[in-house]
Structure 1
Amino acid sequence: MQRVQDDITLMLLPPRSPELNPVENVRQFMRDNWLSNRIFKDYDDIVDQSCRAWNSLVDQPWKIMSIGLSDWAHP
């Protein structure tokens, strides 16, 4: 563990731990719902489709909240 200040300790998250990193759940949701099972024409198409998926998700704040919720995080 790396010390930052006397009262703060940095702890690195292990890789592939979606339960500790809710952003991984958001990425997986986007893949499952908008970005999987398709062939992209080129890099720009990947970026365009990813932006479209992101904008679709941002239009649903309740969905983002439900994806990020973890039973263990809320007693």
Structure 2
Amino acid sequence: MFVKPDNTYNDIRYRSLNKWLDDMEEHEDIAVRCGVPLARDYVKYLKDEIKRLNEENQLKNTHMKKLIEKYRTK
């Protein structure tokens, strides 16, 4: 009944970003090379933030369902 979400597009996009960052690590310009770790850290921060917000949303949904059931039974 439950279908696992298809993340193929996001996986390809993430691998493409990592490939591009790997290429930029070998760039001759030091400013470009030094920006790569910052970009990787920012992407990691964004993924963690998305995960946190999804968990928060799930918690709110659960709480709202309980409230709705509580008021329906009254």
Structure 1 length-normalised TM: 0.30
Return the index of the structure with the highest Cα Rg. 2
Per chain length, whose mean CA-contact separation is higher, i.e. which structure has more relative contact order (CA < 8 Å, sep 6+)? Answer: 1
Q: Which has the higher strand share?
A: 1
TM-score by length of structure 2 reads 0.30
Q: Which has the higher helix share?
A: 2
